[in-house]
């Protein structure tokens, strides 16, 4: 059964391009973006690993660590890293797990036999500082991931954890947000003393906090 939102991310200890990783210890009190790849030397994944490497600082600024996983051995990962640097213009600067025995793939439900019995699926997991799974997003092999969208969701999760708000469709950091429906108008006045725009009793739009 696939992991569900709110579950504790399974721990594991495995070799990576940056040494042995005990996931929970490595995570510490940070958030993490864990993203899987079906195999080394695959074209779409090569572009993705490079894109994440180029934008690592944007994740670091949000208190999030990057970690990739592929089911090929460590020696293959190091060879692939050379291709990534050559073709994408950026060296691999976060750990790529060598999940040769599919330990992580099985713990995280990355094997979908009806799609392909031999390959792991390409799933993104956002994991918070309490080690809870907050997002899963699974892509087919032919479609590259969108780093902007992953950053957008990370911003939304961190904002809505801190404030009693939700983010509307196509929200970007800095846009107006929605007051949580669980908050009464009386309670909302304490949190948002400058007021809000009532579209309907359940849709109350307010400026993003701390903007």
In the chain, what percentage of residues exceed pLDDT 70? 95
Question: Measured between alpha carbons, how far is 79 from 40 in angstroms, rounded to an integer?
Answer: 9
Note the pLDDT of residue 115.
57
122: confidence class by pLDDT, cuts 50, 70, 90: confident
Phi/psi region, residue 194 (left: phi>0; alpha: psi -120 to 50; beta: rest), is alpha
The CATH homologous superfamily to which domain 163-206 belongs is Antioxidant, Horf6; Chain A, domain2 (3.30.1020.10)
Question: What is the C-alpha end-to-end distance of the chain, expressed in Å?
Answer: 41
Separation CA 78–CA 163 (nearest Å) = 42
Euclidean distance between CA atoms 150 and 65, whole angstroms? 13
pLDDT digits (tens, 9 = 90+) for 31-46: 999 998 888 888 999 9
The residues spanned by each domain of the chain are 13-145, 163-206
Q: Are both 13-145 and 163-206 of the same fold?
A: no
**Confidence at residue 120, expressed as pLDDT on a 0 to 100 scale:** 55
Region of poorest pLDDT, from 74-78, 113-117, 132-136, 173-177: 113-117
CA–CA separation, 65 vs 13, rounded Å? 17
Would you say residue 79 has pLDDT above 80? yes
Q: Which CATH number fits domain 13-145: 3.30.1490.190, 3.40.30.10, 3.90.800.10, 3.40.50.300?
A: 3.40.30.10
pLDDT digits (tens, 9 = 90+) for 136-193: 998 887 889 999 999 999 999 999 999 999 999 999 999 999 999 999 999 999 999 9
User: What's the whole-model pTM score?
Assistant: 0.92
**Residue 42 near residue 8 (C-beta atoms within 8 A):** no
Q: Please say if the pLDDT value at position 209 is more than 80.
A: yes
Whether the Cβ atoms of residue 196 and residue 205 lie closer than 8 Å to each other: yes
Chain centroid to Cα 81, Å, comes to 21
Give the Cβ contact number of residue 83 at 10 Å. Answer: 14
Q: Are 75 and 47 in contact (CB under 8 A)?
A: no
Print burial letters for 45-80: b (CB count within 10 Å at least 16), e (below 16).
Answer: bbebbbbbbebbeebeeeebbbbbbbbbeeebbeeb
Asked if residue 118 has pLDDT above 80, the reply is no
**Has residue 81 got a pLDDT over 80?**
yes
Residue pair 52/46 in contact (Cβ under 8 Å)? The answer is no
Residues serving a catalytic function are 45
């Amino acid at each position: 059964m696939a992991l569900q939102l709110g579950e504790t991310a399974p721990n594991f200890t495995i070799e990576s391009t940056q040494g042995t990783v005990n996931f929970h210890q490595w995570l510490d009190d940070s958030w993490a973006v864990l993203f899987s790849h079906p195999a080394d030397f695959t074209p779409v994944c090569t572009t993705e690993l490079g894109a994440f490497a180029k934008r690592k600082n944007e994740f670091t600024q949000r208190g999030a660590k990057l970690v990739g996983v592929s089911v090929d051995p460590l020696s293959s990962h190091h060879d692939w890293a050379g291709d990534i640097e050559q073709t994408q213009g950026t060296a691999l600067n976060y750990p790529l797990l060598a999940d040769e025995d599919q330990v992580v793939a099985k713990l995280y439900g990355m094997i979908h036999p009806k799609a392909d019995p031999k390959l792991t699926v390409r799933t993104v997991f956002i994991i918070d500082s309490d080690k809870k799974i907050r997002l899963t997003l699974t892509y087919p092999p032919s479609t590259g991931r969108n780093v902007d969208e992953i950053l957008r969701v990370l911003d939304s999760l961190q904002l809505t954890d801190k404030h009693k708000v939700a983010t509307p469709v196509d929200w970007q950091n800095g846009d107006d947000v929605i007051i949580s429906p669980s908050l009464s108008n009386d309670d909302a006045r304490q949190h948002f003393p400058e007021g809000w725009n009532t579209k309907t009793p359940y849709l109350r739009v307010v400026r993003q906090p701390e903007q």
